[in-house]
Chain A
């Protein structure tokens, strides 16, 4: 993905937008709201978090309680969306599973950002041997498809929620590292960096106080897309049985159970999948909106 422009991005490119305005909060908001899909997906993301975190307080049915008399039950007053093959409430499990996916996505990406920023910043700033070493490690990890890395890591440490977050985070920082490195290469020879050096600022101060702030907006844009990727990775691993373990619900492992009943109860497979698509698409569109608002090119 090097150069690709969304229709709106191109439409908006007519709007005068100079570097000086980049930091202007009101201008950022105006552009954010003007990219309709991005703004709508922002609202959807808010709604999803609200449902996952506040929903269980209002809808009090337990996600793990088994109603043996009501296996694969139809929607009823007790179970608004019916029950699954073990007699557990589907709506409660969807809310609980959403909680898991949204948290895993967020924590994994915070971790990926931290590692990626450190790698990219040091490689880009110091250059030479440090750059070569750090970037070859990045290349090597990029060459191994991250899913296979995840398989290795999860088979070693066994599945658990924390390990899943750490594993996904530690296998998805490479794109951030490359991004940050290129920003550092761009800025390290600029006048304001030279000025800081002349005033005797330390390397660390220049990295974190002078150059890193310039790289924040592209990192935020990339992170939004990464959250979507992390949620897909979590759900795929949980679907395969290597991620979130039952009875704890996750959208991915709900689909494992559902696949065994596709012939009789195909509806079971629809809800969790649709929620994954809606969530991931929202993060992707939100990223696109941020890209427009920050005026970051792809």
Chain B
């Protein structure tokens, strides 16, 4: 078990290093990279040379990489091209907003999909099951930004219930109610694909457990249906759900970037989208590496957590 943990840790570290190498190489080896953005080709050549030297762009690429990667370790993500602030302070300012949005969406997805998955598994191939499966298929096929626009049309334009964009009402004291009013639509939009994916997964997992011998045995010995469901089925069926939390994280982060742009939510995803427009490479690289690190970490944690709660994995 110790060896398994060690090998998983090493694997995660290798993948993280590769992520930084790929991100860096992609940006610095391509035409249109930092030197193209920071040095105006119309300037006299000696000025360009001086500017490249100032920015360290004249050094070999691997030297530049180690300088950048060394900074990452110390929490130094570089300085934004567009507003000269450190990338870290930009991220720090936006990250809580993204966590509020993504966290709410994630909870929403779990709260809805677990009961729905259990319900449909118990009534597999019934009419309600078909309806739910159809809805989740459509949910997986709907682009989040369009779902966002449709909600804005219904709840902001037609019904005037909810604000169409932003995180807080300007010129009004911050209040939780105000925040919630702004949060409902983006959180629902972001939760939709995850909800669809989770409920399909929970349904499949519960269905598989229902066919196990020990469930039949429990029923055969006359246990109440409710006890069989909670003690024998759910306990086992919901364990694999832990693993997909890590797998859906990239979906949630991607969705967050798009959702934030639709609703003008001042989060990290929108920071990255804006940076892509202005070719603000330090910001793009910082956000990308941070997101990838989060994905790797969560996957590692879910693997270890799974091992802790399921003794069968530990034995292998």
Q: Does A259 contact B (CB under 8 A)?
A: yes
Q: Does B230 contact A (CB under 8 A)?
A: no
Q: Are A255 and B149 in contact (CB under 8 A)?
A: yes
Size bracket, chain A contacts: 35 or more
List of A residues within 8 angstroms of B207 by Cβ? 5
List of B residues within 8 angstroms of A158 by Cβ? 32
Q: Are A152 and B149 in contact (CB under 8 A)?
A: no
Within 8 A of B (CB), among A240-269: 240-242, 252, 255, 258-259, 262-263, 266, 269
A7 to B131: give the CA distance in the assembly, Å: 11
Tell me the number of A-to-B contacts counted with CB atoms below 8 Å: 178
Which of the 9-residue segments A54-62, A89-97, A102-110, A279-287 touches chain B? A279-287
Contact (A151, B19) CB under 8 Å given A1-B200, A262-B153: no
Q: Are A151 and B273 in contact (CB under 8 A)?
A: yes
Q: Does A277 contact B (CB under 8 A)?
A: yes
Q: Are A4 and B204 in contact (CB under 8 A)?
A: yes
Q: Quote the shortest CB–CB distance from A163 to chain B (angstroms).
A: 11
Q: Does A239 contact B (CB under 8 A)?
A: yes
A255 to B16: give the CA distance in the assembly, Å: 36
A154 to B284: give the CA distance in the assembly, Å: 11
List of B residues within 8 angstroms of A263 by Cβ? 157
Q: Does A6 contact B (CB under 8 A)?
A: yes
Q: Does B66 contact A (CB under 8 A)?
A: no
Q: Does B122 contact A (CB under 8 A)?
A: no
Contact (A241, B277) CB under 8 Å given A5-B207, A141-B22, A147-B257: yes
List of A residues within 8 angstroms of B301 by Cβ? none
Q: Does A199 contact B (CB under 8 A)?
A: no
Q: Are A157 and B32 in contact (CB under 8 A)?
A: yes
**Contact mask B222-250 → A, CB, 8 Å, 1/0?**
00000000000000000010000000001
A143 to B142: give the CA distance in the assembly, Å: 23
Q: Does B18 contact A (CB under 8 A)?
A: yes
**Contact mask B275-296 → A, CB, 8 Å, 1/0?**
1110101001101100110011
Q: Are B30 and A156 in contact (CB under 8 A)?
A: yes
Contact (A7, B133) CB under 8 Å given A155-B275, A236-B258: yes
Q: Are A151 and B276 in contact (CB under 8 A)?
A: yes
Interface size on B, residues (CB 8 A): 69
Q: Quote the shortest CB–CB distance from B19 to chain A (angstroms).
A: 5
**Contact mask A124-166 → B, CB, 8 Å, 1/0?**
0000000000001101111111111101111111100000000
Q: Quote the shortest CB–CB distance from B272 to chain A (angstroms).
A: 6
**Contact mask A5-41 → B, CB, 8 Å, 1/0?**
1110011000000000000000000000000000000
Q: Are A155 and B276 in contact (CB under 8 A)?
A: yes
Q: Quote the shortest CB–CB distance from A251 to chain B (angstroms).
A: 9
Q: Which of A155, A263, A277 has the most CB of B within 10 A?
A: A155
Q: Are B291 and A240 in contact (CB under 8 A)?
A: no
Q: Does B197 contact A (CB under 8 A)?
A: yes
> Pick the contact of B254 from A147, A252, A270 — CB < 8 Å?
A147
A281 to B140: give the CA distance in the assembly, Å: 8
Q: Does B261 contact A (CB under 8 A)?
A: yes
Q: Does A273 contact B (CB under 8 A)?
A: yes
Q: Does A276 contact B (CB under 8 A)?
A: yes
Q: Does B33 contact A (CB under 8 A)?
A: yes
List of A residues within 8 angstroms of B285 by Cβ? 152
Q: Does B208 contact A (CB under 8 A)?
A: yes
Contact (A140, B288) CB under 8 Å given A155-B276, A269-B153, A285-B137: no
Q: Are A148 and B287 in contact (CB under 8 A)?
A: yes
A139 to B12: give the CA distance in the assembly, Å: 9
A156 to B35: give the CA distance in the assembly, Å: 11
Q: Could you give 25 example pairs across A and B, Cβ below 8 Å?
A: A2-B201, A4-B200, A4-B204, A10-B124, A139-B18, A140-B15, A140-B292, A143-B296, A144-B19, A144-B291, A147-B253, A147-B257, A148-B292, A152-B27, A152-B284, A156-B27, A235-B143, A239-B143, A240-B145, A241-B277, A252-B143, A262-B164, A266-B158, A269-B150, A280-B143
Using A10-B125, A280-B141, A284-B141 as known contacts, list a sample of 13 further A-B pairs with CB atoms less than 8 Å apart, ordered by residue number in A: A2-B201, A3-B204, A139-B11, A140-B19, A143-B15, A146-B254, A235-B146, A239-B143, A240-B273, A242-B277, A259-B152, A270-B150, A281-B137
5 interchain residue pairs of minimum CB distance: A273-B146, A140-B18, A281-B141, A4-B204, A145-B250
- B residues within 8 Å of A by Cβ? 11, 14-16, 18-19, 22-23, 26-27, 30-33, 124-125, 129-130, 133, 137-138, 140-146, 149-150, 152-153, 156-158, 164, 197, 200-201, 203-205, 207-208, 240, 250-251, 253-254, 257-258, 261-262, 272-273, 275-277, 279, 281, 284-285, 287-288, 291-292, 295-296, 299
